[in-house]
Structure 1
Amino acid sequence: MSTSSTYSLPSLPRIEFAHLLLLALTLLLLCVLPFVLLWLYKRRVEWDPFGLGIGAWLAAEMGREVMFELFTSAGRIGAEEGAPADEAHSPPLPEYTLALPTIVHSLLQETIRLFALHLVVRLLPPFPPSSPSLSRPPPTYPPSLPPLDPLFFSALWFALGWSAAEIVWSSSRLWRQLELYREVLGAEGGEGVGEEEVLRVVPRMRREGEEVEEEEEEEDRRFGGRHPDVVDGLPEHLVHRQSSSEHGGGDGEDGEERLYRHDGERDGGFDEEDEYEMDDETFRLRMRDMQREELEAQLGVPLYEVPIGVIFIWRLDSILLSLVFTLLLSLPFRLTPPTLITFSLYPTFLLVSSTHALLAWLWLAKVRRMGIPSISYASLVVLVFLTFGTLGAWGVLQ
């Protein structure tokens, strides 16, 4: 249900300022810091994998828009063709309707990631896959880190570009979603207004206008005035005759002027235009209300009630997800002999795609039952475990 609370709510500018600080902290810790560490370790920036990571994520995001538009088009079309009153009370999309495009989009993401990693491998300089100097390095004291495959660092740059684009784009989408609560939170905060009260404003204005018109018509009838609806219902050749008989021969011109002035006001479009504007405003308010209901149906709570720390965990989860799946899909293309087991292309792609689809579906299906903090921390634990397993497969933990 959409929030219509009456307790004290924070103001929208305060929430936006908190999310602005969160964006700066996220970019600093999860994007800038890894960028600097990679540059200090290798003394160079691999712009090609980094740019491919950004472009691949943007392509996957465009695919997301297409998938959700394709699989939820029936419900959207029905909502757009309905009246504003019907649309405001239309139920949110069910879970199974959102599950299918979510899973398909996960598979599309991994397909784009695999294709982009293939381009990264093609951009690498020629390197002998069985170099003795890399397979058995001479012993040193103190023992140095084992030599890593050159593709490992290119995959890190690719994952960093993918994550940076996702963080920036997701933060901008979060700001757009916060704008849906402008009528609820307001600029000063304090007592919550609630959507129901907001949606009643324009219909109440219309009802008050109708009451004023009814009072004026009743006053006209009381003092012998001519009812405009009766005149408008007469045939055209009787309108002037009734006007002349009511006001006399000398006043016929005045009566006709009054009648035409009244008809001009009705045909002038002022009342209709004003009513159209009110209807359009009501439609926009109810559209925003419906979007809030759909968002809260997925999250289980209003967006402004999600803690800032949990949103930071979301960003960290996205970084680890990009890192794990990028490194796993890069294993079949590695240039040096594997340290543990050999990863074939098709089984690895099937493993990554199914894992991504499963995580996306669990998030969608369990977030309302488990709560946002619980499922966020559970996802973080799973991704940390997968990160260490992937680094071990690359031989980093030796």
Structure 2
Amino acid sequence: MTGAPPSSKTSTVLVAQTSTSPPEESEEMGPLRRSQLPNNPSYGSIGSASRTSGSISPKLDRVPEERPATFISLEDAEEEVELDLEDQGYFVGSYPRLVRLYTFVPLASLITWLLFGVFIPLAFIPGQPQHPHPKFFPSPLPEFITSAALWSFSYQLRLPLFSLISTTVNNSNVAVILHASWHVIVYNLLRLAVLPILGIRNDMQYDYPTRSDYAFFRVWWASLGWSFAEVVVAIWQGYEQLALYKDVMIPSSRIKEFLRAAVPPEERDYDDIPVADLVASTDFLLSVQHSGNEGDELEQNLDKLVHIKSREELEQVYGVPVINIPVFITCLQRIDSIILSLGTTLLIAWAYLRSPISLPSSDTQDSMYASQNNTAFWTTFPLVCLIHMGLAVLFTPPVLTRIGVHTAAYSSLLVALGLFFGGLAAWGVLT
């Protein structure tokens, strides 16, 4: 093994080998086992001769002030090992703990969705609402199912739309930005299609959109159905992304254990480790375990290569490994999706329902609607699409890798809150 410790310390490494079995290693571990840790300016480069002399030199009656510069503290050694593992594509941490932390994302999303879907509507629903649906299929089931189905359809259109744009645009960054912009238009057109499909305008009791009309709650639940489908798919994708890092995560407790075992027995009263043993401990930590069945081993290696490729693609999108994104930011993104869906749907529905474009042609000939125009719709809908385009561009790889996930999440939340309160004001909820 490259960078193995001197013979005088072989027994120390064997102690660690018998106490803890080494983890399974993927194909990408080869370069790490053949590599050396980078030279650290704090203790310099250590050659083989100096390592041997530093390891077998007398240590009787030595005080801490007399320890040579070839020793490094356990905390610094642990940091060096973590950096070396990250350079080789490995991460320090517990995968089960990471999955448990990610449970806060669906939990926070569910609490937010119940808050907007149950408690807030109950505070504003009229005393005797007139349900336009039959008793065996009451609201909000039609609104919820219709909007969730149309969101699923818009999600399926992403890939063919990107393929169409990428064939006409050679620059990949421009193609990604154009795809995000055009998908927003398709996205909001399908969101608008929920209103005529459900016939909300035909069942309105008032001439203009108002929170006193039961149509407001039908629009509200339609937006919640849209956001529910979006959040569920995003959470499912989050778990799939975390699973890509399962084979490249090493618990921090194992690093501490191996580093402690690398300290010679006569040095156990110190909190230092010989630099010569640092590389050996890192190599031993990632020692290979070959499977007895070559066919199974080949299949596992192919799966690991696929995971490596998927991780690289994700890191190109986010700019950082997914497991390094705080859970709080992920929760914020899911809550932002719910708020953005509510604000966007309320504004588009308000502009559509107050315009003659939502009425049949026979009703537009009525004297009450003849003097009206569609200015509200043709002003609000393009404006909402432009704002939504700006948010979509923030999460494209050319922009997201420069501004960071944190900045994009906070900016999106501020814009979503603005659209949300704008939608509530349009329907007269804030008055």
Give the structure-2-normalised TM-score: 0.58
Which structure is richer in relative contact order (CA contacts within 8 A, separation 6 or more)? 1
In the alignment, the residues of structure 1 paired with residue 175 and residue 144 of structure 2 have an alpha-carbon distance, to the nearest angstrom, of 35
User: Does structure 1 retain, via aligned residues, the 8 Å contact 2:151–2:226?
Assistant: yes
1:16 to 94, 99, 111: 99
Aligned mates of 2:89, 2:165 — CA distance in 1: 37
Q: Judge conservation of contact 1:53–1:159 (CA < 8 Å) in 2.
A: yes
**Contact between 2:181 and 2:392, CA under 8 Å: does it hold in 1?**
yes
1:155 equivalent to 2:187? Answer: no
List per-residue Cα deviations over 1:314-369 (Å, max 9, x = no partner).
Answer: 012111211121112102333699xxx97533443322222222211123233222
Contact 1:9 1:190 in 2 (8 A): no
Which residue type is aligned with residue 31 of structure 1?
W
**Distance (Å, rounded) in 1 between the aligned partners of 2:89 and 2:233:** 33
Which of the two has higher C-alpha Rg?
Answer: 1
Relative distance call for 1:6 and 1:191 in structure 2 (3 A) is farther
Partner of 2:32: none
Q: Which of residues 382, 385, 395 in structure 2 aligns to 1:353?
A: 385
Give the structure 1 partner of residue 116 of structure 2: 34
Q: 1:122 to 1:309 in 2, by over 3 A?
A: same
Does the 8 A contact of 1:331 with 1:343 survive in 2?
Answer: no
User: Which residue identity is paired with 1:375?
Assistant: A
Once residues 392 and 11 of structure 1 are traced to their aligned partners in structure 2, the CA distance between those partners, rounded to angstroms, is 47
Q: Secondary structure at the match of 1:331?
A: helix
Given that 2:340 and 2:417 are in contact with CA atoms closer than 8 Å, whether structure 1 keeps it comes out as no
Residue 309 of structure 1 deviates from its aligned partner by 0.8
Cα pair 1:128 1:335 within 8 Å, conserved: no
RMSD of the alignment, in Å?
3.8
**Which residue number corresponds to residue 81 of structure 2?**
none
Q: Secondary structure at the match of 2:320?
A: coil
Matches within 5 A, 1:240-389: 274=294, 279-334=298-353, 343-364=375-396, 365-389=398-422
CA distance in 2, matches of 1:102, 1:62: 14
Q: Is contact 1:151-1:335 (8 Å) kept?
A: no
Deviations 1:128-151 (A, max 9, x none): 527xxx9xxxxxxxxxxx853433
Taking every aligned residue pair, what percent have the same amino acid on both sides?
27
CA distance in 2, matches of 1:343, 1:24: 41
Amino acid at match of 2:247: E
Give the Cα separation in 2 of the matches to 1:368 and 1:389: 30
Residue deviations 1:163-217 (CA, integer Å, cap 9, x gap): 112111110111011111112115887559xxxx9xx999x979xx9xxxxxxxx
Work out the CA distance in 2 between the residues paired with 1:106 and 1:51: 21
Instruction: Name the stretch that deviates more: 43-52 or 281-290.
Output: 43-52
Match for residue 101 of structure 1? 179
8 Å CA contact 1:7, 1:191 repeated in 2: no
Where 1:396 maps in the other structure, the secondary structure is coil
Return the structure number with greater helix share.
1
Structure 2 runs not aligned, ≥5 long: 1-84, 130-138, 257-282, 356-367
Deviation sequence 1:15-51 (CA, Å, 0-9, x none)? 11111233123212x1112222113532775322122
Q: In the alignment, is the contact (CA less than 8 A) between 1:149 and 1:334 conserved in 2?
A: no
Alignment of 1:182 onto 2:246: yes
Aligned residues: 289
